[in-house]
Amino acid sequence: METIVLIIHVLLAAAVIGLILLQQGKGAEAGASFGAGASQTVFGSTGSGNFMSRMTAIVAAGIFATSFILAVYAKNQADAVNDAGIPAAELIESAAPSAAVQEEQLPALEESQVPAAPAAPESDIPKAD
């Protein structure tokens, strides 16, 4: 079912892109303000703007609806992942040993145990003139 809604969502997105690209602006041509050639259009003199505007609004409402449905599916899948036996973050934090206990378990290095950096041979060191 989710796949069908996703396909419909993608088709609606392509449709709204097409509808927006098909619409003409208010001042598309010089004769448009005087009504030149308006009676020869497919949708009549004022029908094109209203028809395209209505279709764009309907398709946009469809995109909104499919987006909402997809969000519900995503929430249900996220809930299913939480119920998959993965422990909660609070449980993990309470089971982890504290930092103070970890410091007591690690032996501290004394200065006598820290190895010294090896000295470079005198021949490798350039001398200033």
pLDDT tens digits, one per residue of 59-81? 999 999 999 999 999 998 887 77
Own/partner pairs for 115-123, CB < 8 Å, 24+ apart? none
Does the pTM of the predicted model rise above 0.85? no
The boundaries of the domain holding residue 65 are 1-24+48-81
* Domain membership flag for residue 38: no
Burial of 81-91, coded b for 16+ CB within 10 Å and e otherwise, reads eeeeeeeeeee
The total domain count for the chain is 1
Phi-psi region of 85 (alpha: psi -120 to 50; beta: other; left: phi over 0): left
* Domain membership flag for residue 87: no
pLDDT at 93: 75
Q: List, for residues 80-128, the tens digit of each pLDDT value.
A: 776 666 667 777 777 766 555 555 565 666 666 666 667 666 666 677 7
pLDDT at 119: 67
pLDDT at 70: 95
Q: Are 12 and 62 in contact (CB under 8 A)?
A: yes
